[in-house]
Every structure is written in C-alpha cells, then in structure tokens.
C-alpha cells in the first residue's frame, strides 16, 4: 500500500493522507489526547461510517455517531443546531474531536460545527467522494447555506488532517464521480495544465476510479489546493482563483434548489467564465473550445436554460467575491494565468450567457 502525504502549510499545518485502504492512519491524525470523537455522516450511508467508527474505537477512543441528512440538505442552521445540542449531551469538550465522513456537504457541515462549538474543537475530515477529496475537505473553508445563497455563513478553520481513502471511490455512483471531475478539470485550467493533458489522453479512464491516471489526477488537484490555501487561507488574494467558474455555478445551484450536482454547475460555470474571458478580449476561441471539449468528453454539461438568466443574474449579486454592488470575476488570461474583472457591463455578462445558453 503506497501512502502519499501532501502537506498544507499555513498557521496550522496539516497533512492530506492519500492511498487505498488507509483508515489505519486515522488515529494518528486525531492524536493521543482526544477522548471522545463525534463522527458526523450521512444518515442514508451508515456503511461508509461503520469502518471509520470501527477504526477509531479500535484505537481506544469513545465514538459518538451522529447521522445527518444527505447532501446540501445537511447544510442548514437547523441541522447545525441539532449537532451542537448533541455535542452538549455527549459532553464534547475542547480536548475531544469531530470527524466528518462523506461528501463535500457533510465535511463542510462538520467543519463548521467543529469550528463554532466551544469556539473551536479539532476536526479530521474523511471525504468519501471525489469532489470531497479534491476540493471540499481540503482548505479549511467551512460553511452552511441560507435561503439567500450557498456557503454564505461559515468560517476559515483548518482541519487537523484529511484522510482520502481511494478505496471508497469504487462505491461512488458514476454520475457523482463524474461530477467531481469538474473540480479536477478546473485545477488544470487555473494551475496545472498537465491535468488537462492526462484527461485528453484517456477521457473514458478519467471517468473511472480505477482509471490509469486517476490517482495522479487526484493528487495533482490536492497539491494545487494545498499550495493555494497554504499561502492564502482567508481568500485575501491568491485563493480567489479556486472560485473560477463558481459565480454562475452557485447561482445555478440556487435556481435548481441544490438538486443539481455541484460539479455539474461548476462545469457550466467554467464555460461561462471562459466565454466572458473571450468576450473581454483576454483569451481566444481555442481555449473556450478546449473547455467545452474536455468537459463534454467526460460527460459533464456545458449549457443551461436561456430563460433562467434574470433569476441567475439576481442570485449572482451575493457572490462572495463581490465588492459592494460590483460583481468581481476571476478570469483566464491564458492557461494557468488569471486576473480579476471587476464590475463588467451588463451587456457583456448577458452576451457571455447567451453563448452558454446557445
């Protein structure tokens, strides 16, 4: 069994442990002083939590399993409040820990309740989806949703460690796995073009947990995230590049009432950002076409409904990169070269969307 350890630097450095069958590494991430571990997991998937709880118990910790709703339905203040109450009932103290097991929504929620309980207790993330491994669980962003938008309430609170057991990806539904590829592809456009070459070399293999480039793709994307958040935890500058394609993506998720997969929305959002870059005179049509081609080759969407634009534009006002009433986009100037576009004219925004809706 080969284990990779990817270091995330910053004020509180930690490791992302990557490998197949690596649950035995979990106690080392929790540390020796922890007594009780609250394991937060999707209620519909007890089988993914069972081996995690077993590994923790075998190491001598007391385990409290706390099921939560699936996907984005877990990321509400009501669910967070139920977890805080459970922490109180089970006597979770600052010397205890939280483990988040599941997809990105579960790890977002686990990180948020850990960051806010007693003003911060240790959290270790165990993502079990591709999206969770390459994006949501790494970086210390925690958050929940409100009726006004996604991830508008949250904190920056790095975990004590992240454990990516690649063996869990085999049981992930194919559409969910493909959705996670969007964040990997995003990494290729914003930082590491080798990712794009690997996918173009074997797009069908990229769709499979057992693909010949799968582990390299996952580790390359984690390394991008680790480098960026290690240098800029609180999104003061560099970290904004990770939001490439997300302004429209989050608006689509709201319009879809979070029934669309995050990666599918990000795929459409990247096409929009590429078209906006082209229309702003920053990139040529070839890079836009490459965006569409790579996304299509792995089965991700690249278009959305024309009639949705007024509602989408309204939701984009609350994008977290906005400054006052001014929208702010991070756009491509070339492969792996980005810069902001502030307060673009409405005609430009709508013209770019026309290309997405075409």
Task: Just list the catalytic residues.
Answer: 119, 141, 183, 225, 235, 239, 243, 246, 250, 262
> Residues annotated as binding site for Zn(2+)?
183, 246, 262
Burial of 204 (0-12, 13-18, 19+ CB in 10 A): exposed
> Residues annotated as binding site for NAD(+)?
70-75, 104-108, 128-129, 141, 150
DSSP string over 64-120: EEEEE-SGGGG-SHHHHHHHHHHHHHTT--TTSEEEEEESHHHHHHHHHHHHHGGG-
C-alpha separations of 176 from 26, 86, 104, 128, 173 in Å = 25, 30, 11, 11, 5
DSSP string over 27-77: HHHH-TT--EEEEEEETT-HHHHHHHHHHHHHTT-EEEEEEE-SGGGG-SH
Asked if 141 and 132 touch (Cβ cutoff 8 Å), the reply is no
> Residues annotated as binding site?
70-75, 104-108, 128-129, 141, 150, 183, 246, 262
Cα angle vertex 263, ends 258, 265, to 5°?
60
First to last CA, the chain: 48
């Amino acid at each position: 069994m080969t284990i990779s350890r990817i270091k995330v630097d910053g004020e509180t450095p930690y490791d992302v442990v990557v490998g197949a069958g690596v649950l035995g590494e979990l106690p080392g991430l929790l540390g020796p002083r922890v007594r009780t571990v609250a394991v937060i997991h999707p209620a519909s998937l007890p089988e993914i939590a069972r081996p995690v709880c077993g590994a923790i118990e075998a190491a001598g910790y007391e385990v409290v399993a706390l099921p939560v709703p699936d996907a984005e339905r877990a990321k509400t203040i009501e669910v967070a409040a139920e977890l805080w109450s459970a922490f109180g009932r089970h006597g979770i103290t600052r010397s205890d820990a939280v483990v988040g097991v599941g997809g990105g929504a579960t790890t977002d929620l686990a990180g948020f309740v850990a960051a806010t309980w007693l003003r911060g207790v240790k959290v270790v993330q165990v993502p079990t989806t591709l999206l969770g491994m390459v994006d949501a669980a790494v970086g210390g962003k925690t958050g929940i949703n409100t009726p006004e938008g996604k991830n508008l309430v949250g904190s920056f609170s790095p975990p004590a460690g992240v454990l990516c057991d690649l063996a869990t990806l085999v049981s992930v539904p194919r559409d969910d796995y493909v959705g996670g590829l969007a964040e990997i592809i995003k990494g290729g456009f914003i930082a590491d073009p080798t990712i794009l070459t690997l996918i173009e070399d074997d797009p069908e293999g990229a769709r499979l947990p057992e693909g010949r480039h799968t582990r390299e793709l996952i580790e390359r994307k984690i390394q991008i995230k680790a480098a960026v958040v290690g240098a800029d935890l609180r999104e003061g500058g560099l970290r904004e590049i990770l939001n490439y394609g997300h302004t429209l993506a989050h608006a689509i998720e709201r319009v879809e009432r979070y029934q669309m997969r995050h990666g599918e929305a990000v795929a459409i959002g990247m096409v929009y950002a590429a078209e906006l870059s082209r229309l702003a005179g920053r990139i040529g049509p070839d890079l836009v076409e490459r965006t569409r081609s790579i996304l299509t080759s792995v089965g991700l969407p690249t278009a959305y409904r024309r009639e949705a634009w007024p509602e989408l534009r309204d939701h984009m006002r609350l994008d977290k990169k906005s400054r006052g009433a001014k929208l702010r986009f991070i756009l491509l100037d070339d492969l792996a070269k980005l810069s902001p576009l502030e307060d673009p004219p409405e005609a430009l925004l709508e013209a770019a969307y026309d290309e997405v809706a075409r």
